[in-house]
Amino acid sequence: MTTSLERPEALDGDYRRSLALCIIESVQSHHGRDEVSVVDRYLAYRRARESDLAPYAEPLTDGARALLRTFEEAGSSDQWAGKVASYKRRYSATGAPIEARHIQQAAALLYDRRIDSISDLFDAARDQAALENLHDAWVEVCGAEEDDTWSRFLTLAGIGLPRQAVQTLAS
**pLDDT > 90 in the chain, percent:** 27
pLDDT digits (tens, 9 = 90+) for 84-116: 877 655 555 445 567 888 899 999 999 999 999
Residue 63: how many CB atoms within 10 A of its CB? 23
Residue at 67: amino acid letter: L
DSSP secondary structure code for residue 6 in this structure: T
How much is the mean pLDDT over the chain? 75
Judge contact between 50 and 57, C-beta under 8 A.
yes
Across 1-15, 19-33, 126-140, which has the greatest mean pLDDT?
Answer: 126-140
Residue 8 pLDDT exceeds 70: no
- Let me know: does 70 contact 45? Beta carbons within 8 Å: yes
The percent of residues above 70 in pLDDT, for the chain, comes to: 67
Residue 21 is predicted with a pLDDT of: 92
* pTM given for the model: 0.78
Q: Which residues of 34-54 are buried (b: 16+ CB within 10 A; e: fewer)?
A: bbbbbbbbbbbbbeebbeeee
Question: What tens digit of pLDDT does each residue of 10-32 get?
Answer: 445 667 789 999 999 888 876 55
Residue of higher predicted confidence among 65 and 146: 65
pLDDT band at 36 (very low <50, low <70, confident <90, very high): low
What is the pLDDT, as a whole number, of residue 95? 53
Mean pLDDT, rounded, for 120-137: 92
Higher pLDDT, residue 133 or 80: 133
For residue 168, pLDDT beyond 50: no
